[in-house]
A and B are shown apart, each in its own frame.
Chain A
Amino acid sequence: MHAALAEVLKHPAIWRGDGLYRANTEAIDCFHPELAAILPGGGWPKAAVTELLTHRPGCGELRLLLPALARLTQSGQRVLLISPPHIPYPPAWQSAGVDMRYLTWISASTPSDTLWASEQALREPACGAVVSWLKQPLGDQPARRLQLAAEKGGGCGFVLREAHGSIYPSPLALRLSVAAVAGGVTIHVLKRRGAPHHHPVFLPHISPARYPAYGQSHHAVASFTPTRSAARSTEPRPHVG
């Protein structure tokens, strides 16, 4: 390539369709190096709403988000959970590093209240992240409203929704689908700025063996013995320890 052309192409406002869009995308670390490599800006984009499509609650969405949320709360930024599907269980969230003082759980009874609360929270600069769980598809207009609110507030917005196959268009810039597979979580990038990325990213489970409590410490030995007897006392059961 001509040297002068290469110089021109360094301008942040120029976007080339065949590469990953990096210019002007401010992001927070997502703490998954494999995922960071394919996200524009190298992490969860700030001042934007990211859509995560899940099959059902509990298919790895927290595995994906918790490290980033934990870091935000540790740095004193507020994280809001709006209409989560179940109780965010404090012992688990706290052991994942989340400072519970900076976590707020908001339960909205109707879909419109969920959207309203998300918009209000996103608009607030003091909120580091707003994670909303929706039961219905996010329409074009609400999605734009949320995006505008996020641009005003500057925090990270996440919209989680259960999707079963059907992919509808959306104005949001980054859309991922999260699915549980044997041994971990796969993430498909449905849409991002820049060239499409078709290969899923695999994040392995933090398996019980990798937890310090079960893996290395003496707890594992102490707690393992009664299990065997418990399992034997009923009937043989396939057991993957």
Chain B
Amino acid sequence: MANRAAQALGIQSGLRRSAALALAANLQVAKRQPAQETALLGNLANWAMQFTPTVCLDPPTGLLLEIEGCLGYFKGLPRLLGLVVDGLQVLEIQVQHGLASTPLAASWFAQQGVIPATDWRQTLMQLPLAQLPWPPRLLQQLHDLGLRQFGELAGLPRSGMGLRFGTELLGLLDKAMGNEPDPRQPFVPAACFERYLELSWHIEQVEALGFVMRRLLLELAAFLHGRGLGVQHVVFRLAHEGGGQSELPIGFGKLTRSTGDMFAITRERLAGFRLTAPVHALVLKAETLHRLDAEAIGLFGDGQTQADLDLLHARLSARLGEAAVRQLACVADHRPERAWCMASDSATVPAPLPATRPGWLLAKPIALAIRNGQPWHGELLTLLSPAERIESGWWEGESVARDYFQAGGPSGRRYWIYRQRIDGAWFLHGLFA
């Protein structure tokens, strides 16, 4: 098979390698990977579920969509075709498509890239026999009989044709023309997404790994899009040279199926990732799939802002670590170090404390030296406020008995200090900024 650039240079399937290289010296020749093609076809079938519930696999490379029932929903054939073609372009997959009332004829048309202009039967009759996916021997026989177009073959007497070529050919003709039913096994979508990618070269750099991961995420996005699903968590499993394996779990912070969002977070996660050995294969696995289309959309358009923020948070926590991105909240507790907490959700406790609190709290109180009978912290501290006594927590074993003061120094800075009631020691606990 040749891509468009190669076809433009005159390269076709069936050409010898040496001949092809003579036509294009910088031709890249890759081995076909049937397993990969089957997996990709399966994912495309999942993607195509967004257009119709009846999708059939037409191995090795075909996909049949039954669209008659969906034309009304998609407001006509041209629009539906446009959606399919645009969607495939986003997926960076090159396709040919065809259209007919029977699956077999549609499959043949697709292999030629024929879209019937008016009557599909007429187009079928004019289809060149030489291009049909039939055994070469049969095609040669037909050619020797002087048959060039499908119509000429279909016009021959059935009895003689059955004797000469066997009844299978008759069956094919009938199925293609719609004279005989051609039931197909509908595609059953998978319960989870798993995609294995064997690389034809070994990846040693994280950046290059990013490209491959983007490719896999693109397929995941297509899979999810077709099914109206989203993921919150995926795992990349890397197979290393020499048999080792490593895992790269990635959390997106929210349900998503946008390739851009997923890749943005993956890239940050990769930035802090070190490859222990070259990678020769990788697997993208998304085990838990959630319904995404059922999510309510905000009436006033706050949804997008919130989505952007969620993505920002997810990116930040992907690079800096889960614990680095925090929400804060007040807790109704008298002990200053217990009066706040990390809140993951937006649960707020209204804590209108009667007393003043400093803007900065030290994670650990600093013991203060005493000079001339006054606490000292780089400068002599003078008490500015009356004491606020806090005695609490004895029932939890973390008893606190302190007198808190605001204090100031000659520099003008103001501190929140306390004196422990047990031993009279002074500590710095906060800064008024």
CB within 8 Å of B: which residues of A? 56-63, 66, 78, 84-96, 99-101, 103-109, 113, 116-117, 120-121, 124-127, 179-185, 205, 207-208, 211, 213-214, 219-220, 223-224, 226-228, 230-231, 234-235, 237-241
Interface segment out of the listed B79-87, B153-161, B309-317: B309-317
B339 to A, closest residue via Cβ: A91
Chain B residues near A91: list those with CB within 8 A.
330, 336, 339-340, 351, 353, 357
Chain A residues near B360: list those with CB within 8 A.
57-58, 62, 84-89
**Contact A87:B362 (CB < 8 A) given known A124-B309, A240-B383:** yes
A54 to B, closest residue via Cβ: B433
Question: What is the interface of chain B mostly: helix, strand, loop, or mixed?
Answer: mixed
A86 to B, closest residue via Cβ: B360
Choice from B326, B352, B374, B431 contacting A237 with Cβ under 8 Å? B374
Chain B residues near A106: list those with CB within 8 A.
316, 320, 324-326
**Contact A58:B387 (CB < 8 A) given known A101-B327, A105-B328, A126-B305:** no
- Cα separation A184 to B415 with both chains bound (whole Å): 13
Choice from B309, B339, B384, B412 contacting A180 with Cβ under 8 Å? B412
Question: What is the interface of chain A mostly: helix, strand, loop, or mixed?
Answer: mixed
B406-424 CB mask vs A (1 if < 8 Å, else 0) is 1010111111000000001
Chain A residues near B387: list those with CB within 8 A.
223, 226-227, 230-231
- Cα separation A87 to B424 with both chains bound (whole Å): 25
- Cα separation A186 to B211 with both chains bound (whole Å): 52
How far, in Å, is A123 (CB) from chain B's closest CB? 9
- 5 extra A-B contacts, CB within 8 A, seeds A62-B360, A205-B432, A230-B389: A90-B339, A95-B352, A103-B327, A127-B309, A214-B356
Choice from B355, B361, B413, B432 contacting A87 with Cβ under 8 Å? B361
Chain B residues near A184: list those with CB within 8 A.
412
Q: Is the CB of B324 within 8 A of A208?
A: no
How far, in Å, is A153 (CB) from chain B's closest CB? 10
Chain B residues near A241: list those with CB within 8 A.
384-386
How far, in Å, is B10 (CB) from chain A's closest CB? 47
Q: Is the CB of A108 within 8 A of B403?
A: no
- Cα separation A93 to B356 with both chains bound (whole Å): 11
Q: Is the CB of A61 within 8 A of B433?
A: yes
Chain A residues near B408: list those with CB within 8 A.
240
A66 to B, closest residue via Cβ: B359
A-B contact pairs, 21 of them (CB 8 A): A58-B414, A58-B415, A59-B413, A86-B430, A87-B363, A89-B359, A94-B351, A100-B328, A100-B343, A103-B328, A105-B328, A113-B319, A117-B316, A121-B312, A179-B412, A223-B387, A226-B387, A230-B403, A237-B374, A238-B382, A238-B383
B94 interface residue, CB < 8 Å from A?
no
